[in-house]
Structure 1
Amino acid sequence: MGEKIYRLKEFKKAKSFQIPLRGLTLEKFVKEYNELKSVGQRRVKYVPGANSIFEEDLKGDYRAVPSIWFENGEKRVPESNMLLNQILEKHPWYGVYYEVWSEEAEVNKKLTEHKKRDEVLAVINETSDDQRKAIALAVFGVNAIQWTDSKAELELREYAKLKPFELKKVLESKDYQSKYLAALAFNKDIVKDNIGSTAVIWNDTTQGEILSLARGENGLVKFGDFLSQNTEESLLVLNSLNQKIDSLVISNQKESIESSKLEKENAELRAELAKLQKQSKVSNDTQEQTEIEELREQYLEKTGKKVPNAFSNKVDWIKEKLKES
């Protein structure tokens, strides 16, 4: 028989890494009427040569291994060692800090990276200069404000090659649309900073104030943050943006020989606005779920165990446990 290779994930740089076993419990299944039935969580002990990984099944004197060590970033285990493989693949750290490695898995991983890179490059290729500038602002922040169109495109392409997953994550993040829309609104001169940069205002005859700026705050960044908030004020501004875009289209049709091109660009802006308006209607359930998942990960990292099922959705309980030394 061959062997299984477990490797630490890339963000874990340590050559030696310890997988704790003390206090570890895993769900146990027993066969009943030709079906597997869960009997709940049971304490685990790794005793080489034993017949089970569960403490209650061990008989006589035995010496349990207190932990499992990775050396040079990996742990090689013979496939015949069913106990150790079972523990490693059911341990709560599996998939978090380490995973099974194989040549085929590595090939698929690299193939996925290439596909992600192609996806984000396709987005860059298919967008206009204004859109690429907006994407650059959403990805790189205020540093991209002074970039030329060529500089913005180059930086995005370089980033896509080096970190396709990170760029894809940004493009799919919950605040991306608001940052993108804010950048487009500034680029299209729908909004602007007032003289003195003390407020973001509508760029029309009214020059009405949208939001105030503290000294040193960037209007574009502040406007993007404002649009990402699911508040009555931000929704009113989104509706006003929609009206401004409609007015801009009518004006362009009357005054420009390139009205079809401008109308297309404004249609793209309206589409982004629609996406953001849809996002703004999402309830706070998503944010609460994200917080719970982050707390569960912190609990796992601190204790080496998953949050008990009875408390898996109890935010206050998890926070109290995390405070304990």
Structure 2
Amino acid sequence: MNSQPRPRVSVLGAGSWGTALAVLATTRADTLLWARNPELARTISRDHANPRYLPDTALPAALQATADFQQAINHACSAEDDNALIILGVPVVGLSGLCSALAQALSQTPPRGKLSIVWTCKGFQPDTGQLPQQIAMQAFKALPELGLGVLSGPSFAREVAQGLPVALTVATAHDWTARATITALHGTNARIYTSTDIVGVEVGGALKNVMAIACGISDGLALGTNARAALITRGLAEMQRLGLALGGQAPTFAGLTGLGDLVLTATGDLSRNRQVGIAIAQGKKLDDILAGGLTAEGVRCARAALTLGRQHSVSLPITEAVCKVLFDGMAPMQAVSGLLARDAGPESPSVYL
């Protein structure tokens, strides 16, 4: 009896999350990781390590990397069944350029079978306010046969790369994209759920980073766990309000990509967004924090989120307070006082099931 061929997965982007997903996929799929830096690609293939992005983490010997972009594309496109998957492991600011390069490559090297592309970035495009799915759909509009989706959920790259359990959601309108993602990632150390609510998943992934900065500021000011719980709960309400206004579905925000991701990012010590908030509360300047190498998507997308809220007449008081602290020089305690001084009102359930 002939055995089924192993799925073919190409991961584009050898940062911490791209590498972690490549590690996860390697156990179930023939996986190739593309790194922009040739030396990094050689180090991953030769030394089974990514010292820049995942220090002190051993990578599986089966994982190979390349700096040849076309080779990475050909790897996935050569699959003859529907289990061909390309994972885009870059931040929002790099998504447009990568999608454009990928679309051009695919127009010259069409896949043999159905090809799925999923992205993993969380946030809004800072200058346009676009969600990742809007960026991707615009880039691939000439290739309607592709299956597109977003892979998201509460996850720290280091833990995934170390083989610790994780649960993620793939949101897509294409059944074969959900199947390809599950085939490549589900059942080893990961549980993959499916959704069709791409907008809700992406809004949750974007705004939870802003809320994590707020929780970091609160923790840095030693305001206690009561304050943190309040910020998480009311932050979830903001996430849902904006998500519904943009076309998302309410139940999504009670799931992994809403509440789950918010709790992890707002409380976990590995959260870069929370660490930015703590540093701000300790009196450090944002420019100095970013210059020190600590980057966080919440900083990049906070203004875009606030602009979208105003455009859709959605109240985002926590997001607005974070923006005032990050960009307008407001003292953190003054921002807290402003939130506490808001008019009292009824608490509507933040999540409608």
Q: What TM-score do the two structures reach when normalised by structure 1?
A: 0.28
Greater RCO, CA 8 A, separation 6+:
2
The structure with the largest alpha-carbon Rg is 1
